[in-house]
Structure 1
Amino acid sequence: MGERAPSIAPSVASSTPSSSWKGWLWDSADVSKEERRFLLKLDFTLLTFGTLGMLIKWIDTSNITNAFVSGMKEDLNLYGNQYNYIVVAWTVGYIIGQWPSNFILTRVPAHIWIPFLEIGWTIFTFSLAGAKSYSAMLGIRFVVGLFEAGYWPALYYILGSWYNKRELAKRNGILQSAVSIAPIFSGFLQAGIYKSLNGHAGLAGWRWLFVINGIISLPIAILAYFCLPDTPGTAKPNWLFSEREIELARERMARVGRTPEGKPYSAKVILSYFLSWKTVLFTLIFTMQPFGSQPFTAFVFWLKAHNKKGQPAVYSVAQINEYPTIGNAFTCAYSLVAVWVSDGPLRGRRWPIIIFSNLIAIVVFVLLAVTPVFGPFSHRAPLYIVSSIGGSMVPLTMAWMAELISDNAEQRAFTAAAMNTLQYTFTAWIPLVWFQQVHQPNVTAGNRAAAVVAGFNVIVFATIAVLAHREKLQKKQNHELAPPPTPSDLPSPIISDGDEKKVHLGVNTVEI
């Protein structure tokens, strides 16, 4: 048999923009059957366990506020700013655990590391129900924060390791929706527990919420060990993903220039991350994030402040817990619309919606600062409800970061942790300065500061857009815009039953 001339066949891994309205609604509608099946399995495992884990953890985070206004303050005899210090204790643990956790994640498989964090978190969440004093609550919240530290940045890092540009923002948005939905669950859950379980088995209603939180979390942690996928660079064939599907995942990421883990850490390498404009500017954005979320936290205190001692309650405990969930629902819905529009009609551009949302946030914060604090519900409450519109851009911001740092997995993991670390570093002190509990809901100065910071965010996001555009033009001039995958990035050759070899080369399948 003579030597066969090479022929080219399209790869099954698609990287083309959505070509139909169905593709805009859900990207897998425009890909091959094999890739569609792979994405379905990936979504089912990664998004299911990621969203459930995020949901439970943010329920716990919002539970502290709900518990405080539903009996914890009186039971533990909390006074002054002790509520703020309990929040800070969790924040300090969260800050300390960020970078170590993401460094470990690039070396330890995700299906081992994340369930370990989950189980530790569950044990100490149970302990919150038994706290008998302010000091006990302070210490336990610190340890809960320590175990929770790695979860959020780890999930965003893993998502950025599996999905391409037309897919990533939607998945980020679905994951982040748990953050908005959690307080809705928490508010109604706390209201239901207060009515039905308060005093049952000798436990106050607010304590039961932590018990239920732990009960829900434990099976999720156990199932994650068997179902949560590792990154394509570290994944091995198992009962869920075949060798071919892992090869397909690596091929997809090679096509968009996203490199796997494996680069060594050193002091010089880590210093280069600090000097990268991408790491610096995205971290700077998240540093200011607490100013965008704090005005909404005043809503629950605003409702509670209407109830005066010795007078009939204006708002019941149930209403105080339930009304703020309207704001969480708005944030969730707006965020999902934003990521779908960004992935679809805007064809992956992130900055237009991000900048627009921050401009709206400026207007809202200014109105919160200049209008009367105790105006009518119809005047003040809508401002609180939409005040997190700038903060709802987290999924798009994380997607943008992952796409701009596609060529360095370690820097991407480092930057995700840096963004969250600095965010919570500022979260630790901003409420103590600008949004003190003793001043709630009269935090006009904080609302003014939030408006200024939102304006600063617009400038930083615009700077990122300009620098990213310049970098893209430079790569295009240097013919580096879509570099071919290196041999280490390529999937293993697949040998057919016949006498020809088929080698997957990222973009094409070459018959030799």
Structure 2
Amino acid sequence: MAEKPVSVTSSAPSRSWKGWLWDSAEVSKEERRFLLKLDFTLLTFGTLGMLIKWIDTSNITNAFVSGMKEDLDLYQNQYNYIVVSWTVGYIIGQWPSNFILTRVRAHIWIPFLEIGWTIFTFALAGAQSYSAMLGLRFVVGLFEAGYWPALYYILGSWYTKRELGKRNGILQSAVSIAPIFSGFLQAGIFSSLDGHAGLAGWRWLFIINGVISLPIAGLAFVCLPDTPSTAKANWIFTERDIEIARERMAKVGRAPEGKPYSAKVILGYFTSWKTLLFTLIFTMQPFGSQPFTAFVFWLKAHNKAGKPPVYSVAQINEYPTLGNAFTAVYSLIAVWVSDGPLRGRRWPIIIFSNLVAIVVFVLLVVTPVFGPFSQRAPLYIVSSIGGSCVPLTMAWMAELISDNAEQRAFTAASMNTLQYTFSAWIPLVWFQQIHQPNVTPGNRAAAVVGGFNVIVFSTIAFLAHREKLQKKRNNQLAVDSSESVLPAAGITQADDKEVGQNVLEVRV
């Protein structure tokens, strides 16, 4: 009988600044090579896809203000209805997409979503009526729905506790960076192609966005890895790479897909405190992001008709990008500290960030709305600090639901579904455009919700700690990656599936 390969995986806590900076600095050469392949494929194409998705999501606004309104005679509230049609498609597509993801290999399903929204983005360039635009945007939303939760699910299927936060943070940073990149891209396309080949500039926006999306979707099909339990050796990942991946996931109790779906099982997800509390947190996310949206209105409101402008058009568009930059940078710092010095603990930074957010919202309430730039603008710029912890929240959810891949996928979709459902009406109640930037009641509500978030996150931490102690007493707790490593003996594919199905890792 052939001798089993020696286990090379290690997820012990980092003991040097190099390990805190990047986890693979303290693993074996073989595991480091595997992680390099994984980062190059999953992280690279996931981040590029996220960037393109955001651009394809927001291009309708750029097209509307670039001539689409006049060409298609879109007046009254028709633009709002087009936006709502995308939102409805996005909400409807969440759960079905993630159910499918646990049954269809990721390198097929995720590029299928990308190609789907790319085709219908191309179709938007030929839309000749309001009704056509309404239907096409609905389908674009339907295809884009599954992408964000799918990527977080896939990352949670490959990376360990010391690795997941950083990767989630890099992925989410694309969402913060995209608005900065998108505005310049869309402006450049319109100014250089308006009227070319007899097409209006706004139609070229959709065409070029589709041209950018298509090759990324094609490369994802040949480069994006499946989950460890469904992956097969290919030109990137060898059989040994897949064995290492399965060993790593078995060590941390990350169960593979395969549990059957039924009405009883799905109802059980709704009664799980993990699914309920993490979903509840995301329903409140729109409150944390809305105060920042007032920044651009605040700048514009300083300019009065018949008087020299206080802020130029360029400044009105550029200053808010400071908030996007802050969110991206703070998010990356947060995940690095969580994965490094805090040894994978998520709750300290999450709760700290929400406490700071409460202070910011209160200051937005009590300070004069049209106070000096030096006093008001910094508050807008840092107001999304609570929302910067989305990557840590998703990592925490994946770690607490390690024992059930299907529930993990369902919960990711549930969180995003409820977030967008609430995003559809919260601005209409608390942050109405006609009141901007005088949205003091909305900022007050955001401060109250911030306090509620602290309570919910503290409850999650308490329940997770209690469950961890219970599992320890029952000898059901998987080896904690921050405490020890597996013995040197390797484990086979059959072994790691059995371990993954029978152990549970719960960390706080």
Q: CA deviation at 1:338?
A: 0.2
Q: Are 2:345 and 1:349 aligned? A: yes
SS in 2 for 1:268: helix
Q: State the Cα distance separating 1:284 from its structure 2 match.
A: 0.4
- Give yes or no for the alignment of 1:28 onto 2:24: yes
Contact preservation (8 Å) 1:233, 1:250: yes
Task: State the Cα deviation string for residues 89-121 of structure 1 (Å, max 9, x = none).
Answer: 211111100000000000000111111110110
CA-CA distance at 1:449 after TM superposition: 1.4
Q: Which residue of 2 aligns with 1:171?
A: 167
Structure-2 residue corresponding to 1:390: 386
318-327 or 349-358: which moved more? 318-327
Whether 1:88 aligns to 2:89 is no
Could you say if the C-alpha distance between residues 87 and 361 of structure 1 is closer, same or farther in structure 2, counting changes exceeding 3 Å?
farther
My pick for the range that moved more, 171-180 or 236-245, is: 236-245
Q: Is the 8 A contact 2:360 2:379 kept in 1?
A: yes
Cα 1:414–1:147, aligned 2, differ >3 Å: closer, same or farther?
same
Q: Deviations over 1:244-281 (max 9, x none)?
A: 11111011000000010000001111111111110000
Contact 1:259 1:407 in 2 (8 A): yes
Give the Cα separation in 1 of the matches to 2:423 and 2:310. 31
1:222 lines up with 2:223 in the alignment: no
The reply on whether 1:463 has 2:459 as its aligned counterpart is: yes
Contact 2:7 2:491 in 1 (8 A): no
Q: Aligned partners of 1:492 and 1:342: how far apart in 2?
A: 31
**Residues 145 and 350 of structure 1: CA distance in aligned 2, closer, same or farther (over 3 Å):** same
- Provide the residue aligned with 1:110 in structure 2: 106
Where 1:235 maps in the other structure, the secondary structure is coil
Give the drift of 1:480.
Answer: 1.6
1:15 to 8, 11, 15: 11
Letter in 1 for 2:57: T
Q: Distance in 2 between matches of 1:22 and 1:360?
A: 29
* Alpha-carbon distance between aligned partners in 2 of 1:170 and 1:110, rounded to the nearest angstrom: 21
CA 1:66/1:316 → structure 2, altered by over 3 Å: closer, same or farther? farther
Could you tell me how far 1:192 is from its partner in structure 2?
A: 3.5
- Residue 199 of structure 1, CA deviation: 4.8
Q: CA deviation at 1:128?
A: 3.3
Matched, 1:253 2:249: yes
Contact 2:246 2:493 in 1 (8 A): no
In the alignment, structure 1 residue 334 sits paired with structure 2 residue 335: no
Alignment of 1:149 onto 2:145: yes
Counterpart Cα distance in 2 of 1:373 and 1:131: 42
Tell me if structure 2 keeps the 8 A contact 1:66–1:190. Answer: yes
Q: Aligned match of 2:287 in 286, 291, 294? A: 291
Shift of 1:9: 9.1
Q: Could you tell me which amino acid in structure 1 is paired with residue 85 of structure 2?
A: A
| Distance (whole Å) between structure 2 residues aligned to residue 455 and residue 70 of structure 1 | 41
Structure 2 CA distance for partners of 1:68 and 1:330, relative to 1, 3 Å = farther
Whole-Å separation in 2 of the counterparts to 1:72 and 1:308? 28
> Is 1:425 matched with 2:421?
yes
What is the aligned-residue RMSD (CA, Å)? Answer: 2.8
Cα gap change, 1:443 to 1:135, in 2 (>3 Å): farther
Contact (CA 8 Å) 1:290, 1:426: kept in 2 or not?
A: yes
Task: After TM superposition, give the deviation of residue 490 of structure 1 in Å.
Answer: 5.8
User: How many percent of aligned residue pairs carry the same amino acid?
Assistant: 85
Specify whether residues 71 and 433 from structure 1 end up closer, same or farther in structure 2 by C-alpha distance, changes over 3 A only: farther
Code of the aligned partner of 1:339? V
Distance in 1, matches of 2:67 and 2:316, equals 13
The letter for the 2-side match of 1:353 is I
Deviates more, 1:252-261 or 1:297-306: 297-306
User: Which secondary structure state, in structure 1, belongs to the residue aligned with residue 175 of structure 2?
Assistant: helix
AA at the equivalent of 2:51: L
Q: Which residue in the other structure is 1:278 paired with?
A: 274
1:498 maps to none
Relative to structure 1, the CA distance from residue 269 to residue 260 in structure 2 (aligned partners, 3 Å threshold; closer, same or farther) is same
CA deviation map 1:157-178 (0-9, x unaligned) = 0000000000000000000000
> Which of residues 198, 207, 213 is equivalent to 2:209?
213
Alignment of 1:472-511 (within 5 A): 472-482=468-478, 491-492=492-493
- For 2:66 and 2:299, locate their aligned partners in 1 and report how far apart those are by CA, in whole Å: 13
Native 8 Å contact 1:236 1:243 kept in 2: yes
Distance 1:505 1:108 in 2: 22
Q: Does 1:406 align with 2:402?
A: yes
Structure 2 counterpart of 1:151, one-letter code: Y
1:376-404 C-alpha deviation (Å, 9 max, x unpaired)? 33333222211111111000000000000
- Pick the aligned partner of 2:41 from 39, 45, 60: 45
List alignment gaps of at least 5 residues for structure 1. 495-502, 508-512
Q: CA deviation at 1:195?
A: 4.6
SS at match of 2:103: coil
Give the Cα separation in 1 of the matches to 2:196 and 2:305.
27
Q: Deviations over 1:24-81 (max 9, x none)?
A: 1101111111100000000000001100000111123344445555655566555565
Name the aligned partner's letter for residue 29 of structure 1: A
| Counterpart code for 2:333 | V
CA 1:386–1:195 in structure 2 vs 1: closer, same or farther (change >3 Å)? farther
More moved, 107-116 vs 441-450: 441-450
Q: 1:60 aligns with which of 56, 60, 67?
A: 56
8 Å CA contact retained: 1:91, 1:427: no
Which of 436, 448, 451 lines up with 1:452 in the alignment?
A: 448
Bigger mean CA offset, 353-362 vs 289-298: 289-298
Indicate how the Cα distance of structure 1 residues 299 and 275 shifts in structure 2: closer, same or farther if over 3 A, else same.
Answer: same
SS in 2 for 1:229: coil
Structure 1 CA distance, aligned partners of 2:203 and 2:229? 42
Aligned partners of 2:64, 2:292: CA distance in 1, in Å?
A: 17
Output the CA distance in 1 between the equivalents of 2:5 and 2:491: 17
Question: Alpha-carbon deviation of 1:131?
Answer: 4.3
Are the counterparts in 1 of residues 251 and 478 from structure 2 also a CA contact under 8 Å? yes
CA contact (8 A) 1:342 1:349 kept: yes
Residue by residue over 1:167-197, the C-alpha shift from the partner in whole angstroms, topping out at 9 and shown as x without a partner, is 0000000000000010010122234445544
1:278–1:439 distance in 2 versus 1, CA, 3 Å: same
Amino acid at match of 2:458: A
Q: TM-score, normalised by structure 1?
A: 0.89
Residue identity opposite 1:107 in structure 2: R
